[in-house]
């Protein structure tokens, strides 16, 4: 593939809930962006078919040929073997074990496919064009279906020896806590993600707690609806959000003590709750982390929102 960095990149953000595909220009601008539902429960093959469809549709709409692109990159949820294009495991994509996503897509589309972890990509996006622009050290946390992380040290993405560093959602917060989708117990993800928030509210309602959420079908109670109820003053919804924010705050305290970053950026669907979620988390950090790094670190919401992953994925390709 020619190394002309004025050409655009086709980036796909493959998450547990949705797939986003877009053309990204070298200045971070996005064109021809579209979201698709992942429907991960339909299985690996169906999701791969959807990624292929998303790529083909984006190419058709943009009227570009593969030769007119700088490259293609998939920002995928999960523990990736970047060099070999393999999703080794992914708590957000059930049943994905050692899936050679890169090779499978190359065989179908006839073009080279690059890969990056979705939260690492979002960290790069926020660092280049978002809330962390110009900073040297930052941590990105995506709180959505699961919890992912990305680490920027000295202005560069820290990927670790295998390329799978930054799994901050799977730091253990409660050693004897509930079992996480990764198999371990008491991970941040099982305590503070959107799924954890929804499950906590559903369990409380099943055991007879009083709430405005009682009017909803129990399995339709999502983190988004809980946030809305919390903002309207619903006591149960507030308690559920506070509990998740408490655990998020413990996670961020660990991050602050370990990395001493300038900023922790919280993105993902759940971060859209804003201050009702970030406020209590910040308080927890003030109480738990060492005071010097706690005072230095700003804990802020994502600036690029849902676009952080695709923008960062494309930028990471240009930087290679």
Identity of the residue, 30 or 258, whose beta carbon is nearer to Zn ion in the bound complex: 258
Establish if 89 lies at the interface with Zn ion (CB under 5 A).
no
Which residue in 182, 209, 216, 276 binds Zn ion (CB under 5 A)?
182
Binding mask 135-174 for Zn ion (x = CB under 5 A): -----------------------------------x----
- Residue closer to Zn ion by CB (options 20, 170) is 170
- The minimum distance between CB 170 and Zn ion, in angstroms, equals 4
User: Is residue 282 a contact partner of residue 157, using CB atoms and an 8 Å limit?
Assistant: no
User: How far is residue 190's CA from residue 65's CA, in Å, rounded to a whole number?
Assistant: 42
- When asked if residue 184 is in the footprint of Zn ion (CB under 5 A), the reply is yes
| Closest CB 187 distance from Zn ion, rounded Å | 3
Q: How far is the CB of 192 from Zn ion (least distance, A)?
A: 11
* 180 binds Zn ion, rule: CB under 5 A: yes
Is there a contact between 200 and 240 (Cβ–Cβ < 8 Å)?
A: yes
- In sequence order, which residues have a C-beta less than 8 Å from that of residue 188 and are 6 or more positions away? 147, 168, 169, 170, 171, 173, 247, 248, 250, 251
CB of 282 to Zn ion, least distance (A): 24
32 forms part of the interface with Zn ion (CB under 5 A): no
What one-character-per-residue DSSP string does 96-129 give? -EEE-HHHHHHHHHSS--EEEEHHHHHHHHHHHH
Task: Using the minimum distance from each CB to Zn ion, give the nearer residue, 99 or 187.
Answer: 187
Q: Which is nearer to Zn ion, 71 or 91 (CB)?
A: 91
Tokens found for residue 88: 């080794």
Q: Across the strands, what pairs with 14? A: 19, 76
187 binds Zn ion (CB under 5 A): yes
CA distances from 119 to 86, 147, 283, 309 (A): 16, 9, 25, 7
Distance of CA 199 to the CA centre of its chain: 19
Cβ–Cβ under 8 Å, residues 223 and 168 = no
Measured from the CB atom, the residue of 155 and 178 that comes closer to Zn ion is 178
Give the total of residues touching Zn ion (CB under 5 A): 5
Catalog residues that contact Zn ion under the rule CB under 5 A: 170, 180, 182, 184, 187
């Amino acid at each position: 593939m020619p190394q002309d960095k004025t050409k655009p990149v086709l980036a796909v953000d493959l998450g547990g809930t949705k797939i986003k595909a877009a053309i990204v220009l070298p200045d971070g601008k996005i064109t021809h962006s579209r979201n698709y539902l992942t429907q991960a429960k339909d299985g690996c093959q169906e999701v791969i078919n959807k990624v292929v469809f998303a790529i083909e549709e984006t190419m058709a709409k943009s009227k570009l040929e593969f030769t007119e692109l700088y490259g293609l990159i998939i920002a995928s949820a999960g523990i990736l073997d970047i060099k070999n294009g393999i999703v080794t495991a992914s708590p957000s994509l059930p049943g994905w074990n050692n899936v050679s996503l890169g090779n499978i897509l190359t065989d179908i589309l006839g073009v080279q496919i690059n890969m990056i972890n979705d939260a690492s990509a979002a960290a790069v996006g926020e660092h280049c064009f978002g809330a962390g622009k110009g900073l040297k050290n930052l941590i990105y946390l995506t709180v959505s279906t699961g919890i992912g992380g990305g680490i920027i040290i000295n202005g560069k993405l820290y990927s670790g020896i295998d390329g799978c560093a930054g799994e901050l959602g799977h730091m253990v917060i409660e050693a004897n806590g509930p079992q996480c989708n990764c198999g371990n117990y008491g991970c941040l993800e099982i305590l503070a993600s959107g799924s954890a928030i929804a499950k906590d509210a559903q369990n409380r309602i099943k055991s007879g707690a009083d709430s405005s959420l009682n009017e909803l079908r129990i399995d339709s109670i999502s983190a988004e609806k809980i946030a809305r109820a919390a903002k309207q003053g619903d006591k149960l919804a507030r308690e559920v959000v506070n509990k998740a924010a408490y655990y998020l705050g413990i996670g961020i305290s660990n991050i602050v003590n370990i990395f001493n970053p300038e900023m922790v950026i919280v993105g993902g669907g759940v971060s859209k709750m804003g201050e009702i979620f970030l406020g209590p988390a910040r308080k927890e950090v003030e109480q738990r982390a060492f005071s010097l790094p706690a005072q230095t670190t700003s804990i802020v919401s994502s600036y690029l929102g849902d676009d952080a992953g695709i923008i960062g994925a494309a930028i990471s390709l240009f930087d290679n």
